[in-house]
Structure 1
Amino acid sequence: MPNFPIPVSVLTGFLGAGKTTLLNRLLKDSALADTAVIINELGDVAIDHLLVEQSSDGVIQLSDGCLCCTVRGDLVDTLADLVERLQTGRIARLGRVVIETTGLADPAPVLQAVMGHPALVQAYRLDGVVTLVDALHGGTTLDAHVEAVKQVAMADRIVVSKTDLVEDAASLSALRQRLRGINPGAAILDARDNAANAAELVKCGLYDPETKSADVRRWLGEEAGDHDHDHAHHSHGHDYAHHHRHDERVKTFTLRHEHPLPFSAIEIFLDLLISQYGDRLLRLKGIIELAEDPSRPLVVHAVQSLLHPPARLPAWPDAERGTRLVLIAVDLPEDYVRRLFVAAAGTPAIDTPDRAALAENPLGIAGYRR
Structure 2
Amino acid sequence: MSTLPVTVLTGFLGSGKTTLLNHLLSHPDMAETAVLVNEFGEVGLDHLLVRHVDEDIVLLNAGCLCCSVRGDMVTALRDLFLKRVRGEIDEFRRLLIETTGLADPAPILHTLMSDPLISNHYRLDGVVTVVDAAHGLETLDRQPESVKQAAVADRLVLSKTDVAAPEAIAALEARLAALNPGAPRLRADHGRIAPADILECGLFRADAKTPDVAGWLTAEALADAGHHGHDHHHRHDVNRHDERIRAFCLTYDAPVDWDALAAGLDLLVSSRGADVLRLKAIVNARHHDAPLALHGVQHMFHPPSVLPDWPVDPATGQPDRRTRLVFITRDLSPAAVERVLGAALSL
Does the TM-score normalized on the shorter chain lie above 0.5?
yes
Q: Is the 8 A contact 2:44 2:62 kept in 1?
A: no
Aligned: 1:315 with 2:305 = no
Find the partner of 1:28 among 26, 29, 52: 26
- Corresponding residue of 1:296: 290
- Corresponding residue of 2:316: none
Deviations 1:215-240 (A, max 9, x none): 1011012111234755644xxxxxxx
* Counterparts of 2:4 and 2:125, CA distance in 1: 9
* Counterparts of 1:226 and 1:345, CA distance in 2: 23
Correspondence list, 1:88-127, <5 A: 88-127=86-125
* Counterparts of 1:171 and 1:34, CA distance in 2: 37
Letter paired with 1:338: E
- Corresponding residue of 1:345: 345
- Which segment is superposed worse, 205-214 or 222-231? 222-231
Q: Is the 8 A contact 2:4 2:123 kept in 1?
A: yes
Find the partner of 2:54 among 61, 68, 82: 61
* Counterparts of 1:221 and 1:126, CA distance in 2: 17
Deviations 1:9-56 (A, max 9, x none): 0000000000000001011222222111101111111221121124xx
- 1:193 is displaced (CA, Å) by 8.6
Paired residue secondary structure (1:160): strand
- 1:6 is displaced (CA, Å) by 0.5
- 1:342 is displaced (CA, Å) by 1.4
- Unmatched 5+ residue regions in structure 1? 55-59, 234-246, 348-370
- Provide closer, same or farther for how the CA distance between residues 195 and 229 of structure 1 changes in structure 2, counting only shifts above 3 A: farther
Q: Is the 8 A contact 2:13 2:102 kept in 1?
A: yes
Q: Is the 8 A contact 1:126 1:205 kept in 2?
A: yes
- Which segment is superposed worse, 297-306 or 39-48? 39-48
Paired residue secondary structure (1:158): strand
- Corresponding residue of 1:161: 159
Correspondence list, 1:2-13, <5 A: 4-13=2-11
User: TM-score, length-normalised on structure 1?
Assistant: 0.83
Letter paired with 2:22: N
- Corresponding residue of 1:71: 61
Q: What CA RMSD, in Å, does the superposition of the two structures yield over aligned residues?
A: 1.8
- Provide closer, same or farther for how the CA distance between residues 142 and 211 of structure 1 changes in structure 2, counting only shifts above 3 A: same
- Corresponding residue of 1:141: 139
- Provide closer, same or farther for how the CA distance between residues 287 and 195 of structure 1 changes in structure 2, counting only shifts above 3 A: farther
- Unmatched 5+ residue regions in structure 2? 64-71, 225-235, 313-318
- Corresponding residue of 1:84: 82
- 1:256 is displaced (CA, Å) by 1.0
- 1:335 is displaced (CA, Å) by 1.0
Equivalences, count = 322
Q: Is the 8 A contact 2:133 2:172 kept in 1?
A: yes
- Provide closer, same or farther for how the CA distance between residues 323 and 195 of structure 1 changes in structure 2, counting only shifts above 3 A: farther
Aligned: 1:221 with 2:224 = no
- 1:173 is displaced (CA, Å) by 0.5
Q: Is the 8 A contact 1:33 1:95 kept in 2?
A: no
* Counterparts of 1:139 and 1:50, CA distance in 2: 29
* Counterparts of 1:195 and 1:162, CA distance in 2: 11
* Counterparts of 1:86 and 1:261, CA distance in 2: 42
* Counterparts of 2:237 and 2:16, CA distance in 1: 30
Deviations 1:271-302 (A, max 9, x none): 11111111011110000011121x21111000
Q: Is the 8 A contact 1:114 1:121 kept in 2?
A: yes
Q: Is the 8 A contact 1:24 1:52 kept in 2?
A: yes
Find the partner of 1:200 among 194, 197, 200: 197
Moved over 6 A (4+): none
User: TM-score, length-normalised on structure 2?
Assistant: 0.88
Find the partner of 2:282 among 278, 282, 287: 287
* Counterparts of 1:195 and 1:44, CA distance in 2: 30
Q: Is the 8 A contact 1:263 1:290 kept in 2?
A: yes
* Counterparts of 1:337 and 1:12, CA distance in 2: 28
Larger radius of gyration: 1
Paired residue secondary structure (1:267): helix
- Which segment is superposed worse, 78-87 or 97-106? 78-87
